[in-house]
Amino acid sequence: MDSENVIAVKYRALAAGLDEAMRRRWAATEAKALGRGGATRVSHATGISLPTISKGLRELTKGTRLPPDRVRRRGGGRRPLSKQDATLVRDLRGLVSPATRGSPTSPLRWTSKSTHHMAEALRCQGHDVSPRTVAGLLHGMGYSLQANRKTTEGTQHPDRDAQFGHIAAEVESFQARGQPVISVDTKKKELVGHFKQKGQERERKGRPRRVLVHDFIDDGEGKAIPYGVYDVSDNSGWVSVGVDHDTSALAVATIRAWWQRMGRRSYPQAKELLVTADAGGSNGVRARLWKAELQRLANDTGLSITVCHFPPGTSKWNKIEHRMFCHITENWRGRLLISHEVVVNLIAATTTRQGLRVSAGLDNRTYPLGTKITDMQMAALNIERANFHGDWNYTLHPN
């Protein structure tokens, strides 16, 4: 075995444990032992450059010693681009600054701010920079990848906080009297069929479930409209899966189904019912059909039904959203909703460690749009409006 092969074998055995300073000095020691032409032969055997070996030879000759915690002298190595290019950081900051997002002169006005796009924009401004360097500079400037977060609710109603206080007081009062309190809302409509669902589920490797490329309702079994009732005191709920339209009639029919199947068993002495709901949609403040259907329910059950609406733009505070609907979504992540039966079963199988119980049923009745409630029908309602925001807070008594 010639000397170069011997050096190559040594280097492969030692390389993993050598830092930068030890590597160049070991190479210099081998080159010095070989004599004339030794540096070239060591370079061929190890791939270490001749300048690095020469630097190691100079350190051996001069007896240069570095502090124990360093492998280079202080200030050694190539200067960072931010030091070599005086305007690089300034121009990069200009690209990512929020102030330039709407500027017609910004080169990234209509493109995503990926490191590749930013590097290309900087090269157009005369900076020789790579996407990796851009990523490092952004990290040093305190930037990181961020997703949008839903926190802005638009213009706040001036009575928003007061309405929250009113709802809290009503809930506490009803619960103290042993009367039921429910939170109601419509969950996001779902297409039924072989359509892609968000999320992942464990399958055999390399065998993902195949779904339709496009989400066209004509390619499936229709749609599922889950309307839910969450019992705030009992931590239980009922979901009716509609197949027609999301109307006030479906909303109140779901409340009726909850009362018949769950509510009256849990509250046999109930004389009142408190419903907390959003300000819009099928259970909205201005929906006449919502009030008319609640009056029918009050007449049929003998319950005085009190409704408290959350202020506009605050639907995320509705308890059904973060106590029941979110767990249903988690339960069917990545699952194909191939039939209405599957939707109902997945909803009914939803549980939590805190003891949430959910029951569900299919409501295949038709709920036509455009049902009109006349002024005469509205005048016949036995409705009592609260002193505070009677449009948001009212009670429908049995006739």
Number of H helices, E strands in the chain: 16, 9
Q: Are strands 236-242 and 357-363 parallel, antiparallel or unpaired?
A: parallel
Confidence of residue 13 (pLDDT cuts 50, 70, 90): confident
The 10s digit of each residue's pLDDT in 187-199 is: 988 888 766 666 6
Q: Among 33-42, 160-169, 270-279, where is mean pLDDT lowest?
A: 33-42
The 10s digit of each residue's pLDDT in 79-130 is: 677 677 778 888 888 887 654 444 445 555 545 678 888 888 889 988 988 9
Q: Which residue has the tokens 């992540």?
A: 333
Q: Are strands 383-385 and 357-363 parallel, antiparallel or unpaired?
A: unpaired
Q: Among 182-186, 286-290, 330-334, 375-379, where is mean pLDDT lowest?
A: 330-334
The 10s digit of each residue's pLDDT in 331-344 is: 887 678 888 999 99
The 10s digit of each residue's pLDDT in 55-71 is: 888 888 887 666 666 65
pLDDT of residue 74: 59
Q: Between the CA atoms of 66, 70, 72 and 74, what dihedral angle is there, to the nearest 10 degrees? A: -90
8 Å CB contact between 14 and 45: no
* pTM over cut 0.75: no
8 Å CB contact between 272 and 356: no
- b (16+ CB within 10 A) / e for 85-121: beebeebbebbeeeeeeeeeebbbeeeeeebebbbbb
Helix (H, G, I), strand (E, B) or coil at 27: helix
138 membership: H or E segment, kind and range? helix 131-140
pLDDT at 267 over 60: yes
Helix (H, G, I), strand (E, B) or coil at 231: strand
- Please tell me the distance from the alpha carbon of residue 335 to that of residue 312, in angstroms, as a whole number: 33
Average pLDDT on 289-318 reads: 95
